[in-house]
Amino acid sequence: MDRMRESVFAVLGDLTGLSFLDLFSGSGILGLEAASRGASPVVCIEKDHDKFPTLLRNVSIAEERIECHSMPVERFLLRNKIAFSIIFCDPPFPYKFREELLGRIEASTTLAPGGLVLMHYPRGERLPDTIGKLGLVDLREYGRSIVRFYKKAPIPAEGRAGDGDTGPEA
């Protein structure tokens, strides 16, 4: 896990000005790493009531506040109103709904246009290269696991208010 974490954050680089959502947070180490690299806000979601006190204890050392919620990831996605720049998904390896989870993220407003979803999963499992507006942009292999980097298509310039017609030619 340490090698994977170091490599993923080396790829992501400085996170200043970006928001970070850690789904299936466990101990909160990924949220802490994101906060240490400048991400704000950082939100951690963990439904396991036995792991949650450890998560809270660990994130308490962060200089900036890390928000933590004890609830199923699926419920958080239904209720959330914040669009995040980066979402890291590290469900337990027996979790069978990775593709559906990616579909829920893609269909929700939880991922900002142009944002990244990283999915950590066991080698040997298959995930599609595209899910709706999510497209695979990178894939890293770490021993018995893989991390896929999906990017959400940005809103086209013609679809944004204030873009497009710039007036008469000079």
Distance CA(76)–CA(133), nearest Å, equals 21
Q: Name the 3-class secondary structure at 84.
A: strand
Percent of the chain with pLDDT over 70: 90
Q: Is 39 within 8 Å of 66 (Cβ atoms)?
A: no
pLDDT of residue 4: 87
Residue range 29-44: average pLDDT?
96
Distance CA(92)–CA(97), nearest Å, equals 11
Q: Specify the CATH architecture of the domain 2-154.
A: 3-Layer(aba) Sandwich (3.40)
pLDDT of residue 17: 96
Q: Hunting for tokens 């310039």 — which residue is that?
A: 157
Q: Name the 3-class secondary structure at 170.
A: coil
pLDDT tens track for 71-100: 999 999 999 999 999 999 999 888 999 999
Q: How many CB atoms lie within 10 A of CB 87?
A: 24
Residue 162: pLDDT band by 50, 70, 90 thresholds?
very low
SS3 content of the chain, % helix, strand, coil (to 5): 30, 30, 45
